[in-house]
Amino acid sequence: MRVQMLGLCRFSYLGGRGFQILHETVEARRAFLYDPERLARRWFWFENVTLPGLMAQTDPDFTLILMTGPDLPEPWMSRLRDLVASMPQARLALIPPMDKHLDACMAATAPHIDPKADVVGHFRQDDDDAVAIDYIRDARRDFAAMQPLWERRRRLSCDYARGLVLKATQDGVSVEQRIIYNAVAGLTVYLPPDAGRSVMHFPHWKIGLSMPGVTLPGKTMFVRFLNHDNDSGAIGAGYAVPAENDNWAGILAERFRIDLARIDQAARAFSLPGADRPRWGL
């Protein structure tokens, strides 16, 4: 059975709904999203937290859709184009502002669904989180064991629930190991190619209402990165896990290709507290 792995990454997409930070007008939202200092921080985290693990996947057979607006300012638009030119898996989707966020995400996703695939493993990749270098391999390989359950409804989620939570403030970056149930990173939604849906149609915090799910918490598979520019910054349901090995720099380098010293230095240089959100860091 052929499983296509298809990810959606929204990079400062300008549109209505779909986010917890709301604005009364498109102009106000544009000013917020396209603030030069904010975009500089977003790109730094994207380049140093998110991309390294994706570019080092042990199974390189996946597609990553980079969704943004057609008026994303320079130099960020050129940087996205350069990334697409250098990363074989990357595709750029320029989606004009749309009031219905699910329609916008589907407009970005639909052209890249392979109708010849038996199953599409959809994943959402936030631009400041990360997946481990074997995520694609495991998500494709583990589906074989889960296929009988998928056949029941032709919908299934797989949650790699063990990960690291990184918090960036003016004091640097702290690291904690946690189990988080159905976090965004490390969550795969398996659908048939003709489903007319994407991962965005199933809110991760209540995905059990939509499909059966499997939890595989055996190894560290994701990084949840909390920083000043998070849309919410809530950690999610779960609990801390005592660390048998707290060599976080070594684990981050090996599993995610993240340079902890580099992002720690950047957090101190940005000199920003956690985001002013009701549940940031909780």
Omega cis (within 30) before 60:
no
Q: Containing domain of residue 218, as a range?
A: 3-270
Task: Please check whether residue 130 is in contact with residue 185, taking contact to mean a CB–CB distance below 8 angstroms.
Answer: yes
Average pLDDT over residues 225-231: 89
How many domains does one find in the chain? 1
Task: Please check whether residue 248 is in contact with residue 198, taking contact to mean a CB–CB distance below 8 angstroms.
Answer: no
Both tokens assigned to 243:
């660390």
Whether 258 is covered by a domain: the verdict is yes
Q: Does residue 264 carry a pLDDT above 90?
A: yes
CATH of residue 81: 3.90.550
Task: Please check whether residue 5 is in contact with residue 139, taking contact to mean a CB–CB distance below 8 angstroms.
Answer: yes
Whether 276 is covered by a domain: the verdict is no
**Mean of per-residue pLDDT scores for the chain:** 93
Q: Does residue 18 carry a pLDDT above 80?
A: no
Whether 215 is covered by a domain: the verdict is yes
Whether 107 is covered by a domain: the verdict is yes
Q: Does residue 20 carry a pLDDT above 80?
A: no
Q: Does residue 28 carry a pLDDT above 50?
A: yes
Whether 26 is covered by a domain: the verdict is yes
pLDDT over 70 for what percent of the chain?
96
Strand ranges for 70-219 from DSSP E:
90-94, 119-124, 130-131, 156-159, 162-169, 172-180, 187-191, 213-215
In angstroms, the first-to-last Cα distance of the chain is 40
pLDDT of residue 107: 97
Q: Does residue 276 carry a pLDDT above 90?
A: no
Average pLDDT over residues 48-68: 98
Whether 160 is covered by a domain: the verdict is yes
Task: Please check whether residue 105 is in contact with residue 67, taking contact to mean a CB–CB distance below 8 angstroms.
Answer: yes
pLDDT of residue 19: 52
Q: Give the 3-state secondary structure percentages of the chain, helix then strand then coil, rounded to 5.
A: 35, 25, 40
Whether 196 is covered by a domain: the verdict is yes
Average pLDDT over residues 119-135: 97
CA trace torsion 204, 168, 20, 111 (10° rounding)? -60
Whether 275 is covered by a domain: the verdict is no
